[in-house]
Structures are given as structure tokens and as C-alpha cells.
Amino acid sequence: MSTKKYKYTKDNVYLTEVQRDFYEENGYIVFRNLVDFNLLDECTNRFLEYCDGKVNTGYYVKVIKDMSLKNTDAKGEFLINKIQDFNYDDILFKYISYKPLVDIVQSIIGPNVTAAHSMLINKPPNSEKNTSRHPLHQDLHCFPFRPAELIVASWTAMEKVDEKNGCLFVMPGSHKGTLLEHEYPPNVTNPGYRGVLGLEHIPTVNLVMEKGDTVFFHPLLFHGSGPNLTKGFRKALSVHYGANNCNFINVTPKMDKVALYHAKTKGFPEVTFNLYWKAKSRIVRGEPGNFQNLRSQL
Ligand SMILES: O=C(O)CCC(=O)C(=O)O
């Protein structure tokens, strides 16, 4: 085992020293061809069932329309921008718990793994540029749990993604900074997408990925995605994993409002923000911790 001091990864058998060093330095790492195509196709089909209203969304799943297309005659996957919080959908959970993926997650946050947040993000054709793009942001601003080092995102391309259909871009090394204030950029028409303004002069790297390629990234890493300018789709699966024993914090009222809105639309008017996050999370590996203890304030 290496004697180097690591801050952002754990001693483990799944990452080479070179891979560990890359994540430590850059705050992200891409694994080519990590996820099986059959699994991705099964997830795409499940997404299409949600789009077509063929699946009951249950307590947690949200089916979110593209803002710029919702008053057009677009339907199904031509209309739906995202499904979210499908931790308890047994088909999509196959991605969340996919061993090769969770092994890498474990190498970053340790052996106790909870899926806190899950999304299948579709960029349909014909969406407005400013709705389709996702401005530069840090995911931690959405989460009421800490520490940042015990949280990681997976993001898997479900088809080829590049500059034309809205690939991710990342700011290498930015995970070493702090959480900055997020707000709506002046011309963004998507109320789900806040960003950090004034960083446009700092270079970013476009992550061009093939189907099955997966990037793992730190929740303080600045990243975003471009608009889909093609006539096809851009689909990706993304999960935020936290260590089971993350601790919960009091968050700003701005974030509270969004999550409580989601909780209310799902029929939970009285829940607190933190309880809502705990309830929708799902343990994937290891010993239960704070995430699983709904009564604890931690
Ligand atoms: O898939 C995308 O386009 C961006 C996803 C993302 O950055 C997020 O949801 O935080």
C-alpha cells in the first residue's frame, strides 16, 4: 500500500495509484466502457416507460419536463428532460448498485455507500439553448449532508456525448476550493439550474464520452454541460453517493424551498428537508449509518 497522504480517496484495491493520483489532483476521473450496454438499454427502456406514463412514479420519482418544450406538442422522450430519485425503482437500481461502479465509489468514499440522489438526464432535440445547457456549478450546494470528501457522483453516458449534443465540462482541480454562492444566470430559463457567475475566464475540459463511459467526480468540482444542438438525444445516468454515516446540516432557506416543494408534490407536506433526503436515499453497501436513522438529527 502506498505511503502517500491521500485526502480524496481511500486505500483500496480498485484504483491504481495513477488513477488515485489523478482523482486527488483533478477531482474527477473517467473510466472507459465501465457499464454494460444491456444494462444501459434496460435503463433507457425504463426511462421511456416513465416518459410515456406507463409506470407509477410511487412516492419519490419525479418526471420533469423540458421547460422550453412543455407548451409545445412534444411528447415522451421529446419532452421529458429528467427523471429523478428512482432509488427504489428495481430496474434503475441495477445501475445504482452495479458492482464495477460501486467498487470505484467505495474506493473514493469508503465501504459504506448510500445512494442519495439519482437522475436520468435527457436533453431532447429542439430544446432552447439556454434551457438545455447546465451552467457551471458545484453539486454540494444542493445537499444537506457532509463532509464533501465522503460524497461522489457517477455520471454514465447512455450514448455518445460530445460538444454537439451537450457533453459535461469540468474545471480540473476546482474540488480543492470551497462552496460558492449559486444563483440563476441572467438568461437561463431552467429553474432547476443555478450556477456560479463570473468564472467564465477559467478554462474547463470537455468530457467527450462513448456509451458506457463513466466519470466520477467530487461534489465541489465545478462542472456543467452544453446545450444539445443535434436532432438526436443526449441521455446520461447520474447518482450521488454518500457515506452511510455522513452528517446532516441545516441548509439555507433557498435550498429548503426547492426540496420542500418536491416533498409536497409527493404528498409529504410536513417533512423536514433532511428527513426527506434520508427517506428517499437507499443503502447500497455496508453498515447502516445516519442516512438510515430517520429519528436522528445527525
Ligand atoms: O447531465 C448534465 O447535463 C449535467 C448534470 C449535472 O451537472 C447535474 O445534474 O448536476
Q: What residues does each domain of the chain span? A: 17-244
Which residue is closest in CA terms to ligand 1's atom 10?
A: 139
Q: Which residues line ligand 1 (CB under 6 A)?
A: 119, 121, 134, 139, 166, 223, 225, 236, 238
Q: How confident is the model over 250-275, as a mean pLDDT? A: 74
Q: What is the pLDDT of residues 69-96, one digit of tens each?
A: 999 999 999 999 999 999 999 999 999 9
**Mutational test site, ligand 1, from 62, 82, 118, 121, max ligand atoms within 8 Å of CB:** 121
Burial class (CB within 10 angstroms; exposed 0-12, middle 13-18, buried 19+) of 200: exposed
Given this model, what pLDDT does residue 12 score? 87
Residues in the chain: 298
Closest ligand 1 atom, residue 121 Cα:
1
Closest ligand 1 atom, residue 142 Cα:
10
Give the class (CATH, top level) of 17-244: mainly beta
Given this model, what pLDDT does residue 77 score? 97
- Given a contact cutoff of 8 angstroms between Cβ atoms, the answer to whether 204 and 144 are in contact is no
Q: What is the pLDDT of residues 117-150, one digit of tens each?
A: 999 999 999 999 888 899 999 999 999 999 999 9
Closest ligand 1 atom, residue 225 Cα:
3
Q: What is the pLDDT of residues 5-30, one digit of tens each?
A: 999 999 988 999 999 999 999 999 99
- Is residue 212 very low, low, confident or very high in pLDDT (cuts 50, 70, 90)? very high
DSSP H/E element including 279: helix 273-280
Given this model, what pLDDT does residue 273 score? 82
Omega cis (within 30) before 147: yes
The answer on pLDDT for 295 being more than 70 is: yes
Query: What average pLDDT does the structure give for the chain?
Result: 93
The answer on pLDDT for 1 being more than 60 is: no
Specify the 3-state DSSP secondary structure of 250: coil
- Given a contact cutoff of 8 angstroms between Cβ atoms, the answer to whether 244 and 287 are in contact is yes
